[in-house]
Structure 1
Amino acid sequence: MGKTTYMRLRGSRHLRQRLVLATLTATPIVVKEIHSDDTFPGLRPHEVSLFRLLEKITDHSLIEFGESGTELLYKPGVLIGGKNLVHDCGLSRSIGYFLEPLILLGLFGKKPLSIRLKGITNDSKDPSVDTFRTTTLHMLRRFGVPLEGLELKIESRGAPPLGGGEVLLRVPIIPNTLTATHWVDEGMVKRIRGITFSTRVSPQIGNRMVYAVRGVFNNFIPDVHIFTDHRSGPAGGRSPGYGMSLVAETTTGCLISADIASTEKADEMDEDTEEKPEVKTPEDIGIEVASILLGEIKQGGVVDSTHQGLLFLLCALCPPDVSKVRVGALTPYGIETLRNIRDFLGVKFVIKPDTSTNTVILKCVGSGMKNIARKIS
């Protein structure tokens, strides 16, 4: 048995992404100085929960934490996937924090993944489960992932601070590899779709948000349709809340998304600020999410800013063929993703600004990641 060589990393930035790449590439890592400068140093509850989730979908993973919680050792095991799994995501971060890792890892598992996630479905920190269902899953088609067996079902809503939401995620395994993509034409917006959610509040809240959004978009485009999803009782979780997710569909099939959520009491429980922020009205929510979506459309690109990191990861995991994509201004998360891809996969992107459209074109040759764990019949 040879001596294990660990990649040594520092800091807590993008720890989630590093764990995903370490698992996919079977790279053992040691991470030090995790939140070491914070008032309460060490791993956060949602980060520990992510490790527990990795243990459920892998076999023989080794995870060790230092006594202070500021250091960890992670030696990935084999990606198994599995059916009828259940994971409580806790209340520190929403379910959206866990969905992106699960989708990426699920594609390269030994068996298709079927998992029930419990916690907060919509909050202001992470993309909502609606955005994943309407936008993120459809991105995978561009990389050869079949939509059969790919599903995200929202069984109950959960707003902060008490959550109570529940979703069911199904991810199929890819037969061998992803497919390289040439995706640079974002097209023109032809329709706006969306959904409002409201839990343990008046059903009229949803109608007020829809009215506010239509007041913005009807000046630009006639095809605007927004569904309302009002939940009460067990399906409405344990806390009152409301919000909206919007998607702009273009003539070339690109989906540009934006979402926002507000809660009646969750904002008051923010420990980082002494002043209690004002609760946003349904009209404020509608106008704000419409403005965010217009900003995403204006900056151009085939995906919105929240999906840049996932887009780059999928390109880097493709076979050794050229993938070419267009995005708007690079976000800090997208830039850090490019660095992590370089460190773990050895893939470097060629970045070329397009001054005529104020967008950025990125090209790379994929790493040739294969699903070696899949069951061969």
Structure 2
Amino acid sequence: MERIPVFVPCMGNDTKKHLEDALDVGWLGMGSYTKEFEDRISDFLDLKDRFVVATNTGTSSLHIALRAAKIGSGDEVITPSFNYVADHQAIKMTGANVVMCDIQEDNLGIDCSQVEKLITDKTKAIIPLHFAGIPCDQKGVFEIAQKYDLRIIEDAMHAFGTTIDNKKIGSYGDITCFSFDPVKIITSIDGGCVIVNDEDEFHYLQNLRLLGVDKDTTERYKNKRSWDYDVISEGYRYHLTNIMASVGISQIKRVNEFIKSRQKTCQEYNNAFKNIEGLKVPQTDFREISPFIYSLRILDDKREYLIKHLDELGIDVGIHFIPVHKHKYFTNDKYGDMTVTDKVVKEVLTLPLHTNMKSDYIKRVIDGVASFFKNN
């Protein structure tokens, strides 16, 4: 029996053709395809007076977003422990201190009532996560930022295409970061981007991603290089290559198709599981959600038994996430009350979710989960 993996990237002949075309151009580094990908991101998100800077990973986008927000040594940044460790490492890379916060039960996003308890005179920013593509209490986060004069860097790595009040995440607000890694909704093999309002921050981000070199971005967008340049700031090798961008272009051309197919699968899962005692399904109908993963909560300490049951049926699952405050490297970092986080991390289970997922895969997953609870 064919195993069902948690993730399957959607790569067709169109992606192969885009790659071949990019290779034929002969300019492998950052270039015109990078610029086209940025423009297509801007168009998809309906950006107005906001600017896109593509990077080689989502983590590097977080790092330079923090630096553009002038986060540095001695500062504090509040972020959920319930996330992958990239955000926390990016904060540490700036020299700032990580302060970890609890989450809400309903959307598994940052708990704004707990955020306020963690704010000090050293707090400079908040990084909220839109877990699984489902929005956190964004309004509450923005209100806290305004009250305490803080920067917001939205971790929208899971939420490329999610809308709130008919506006796509990233099209408004402060700073937003997205990821295009191998298993995200669209991929550029690896990649990410930062979106900002301020033109000066935009140009600073362009310098940060390319070793602090001025002039070179404009020339590279033309598949050329500037041999007369200066180094005007700190900088890193975080730029996205033409080759990676060509994959991203092939994907973003189909992004609406990808999102709709994933929404449909999540809706099927919700309908199948919503009345099963011992399960908690995501509290959304997915109509406005661009879902990166489908994450259930398994109650009554049955998660490990369900994992074993599904494994025997050839169905892989994942766990998002191990809380960061439990990792050895972060044991000395500050964190608040973690009542909800410590509860949720024992319950969450990620089921397979693919773009254009095979119907027999969906049926096997649904039948596998249902059969476990029928007998347990």
TM range (shorter): under 0.3
Report the TM-score when normalising by structure 2: 0.26
TM-score norm. by structure 1 comes to: 0.26
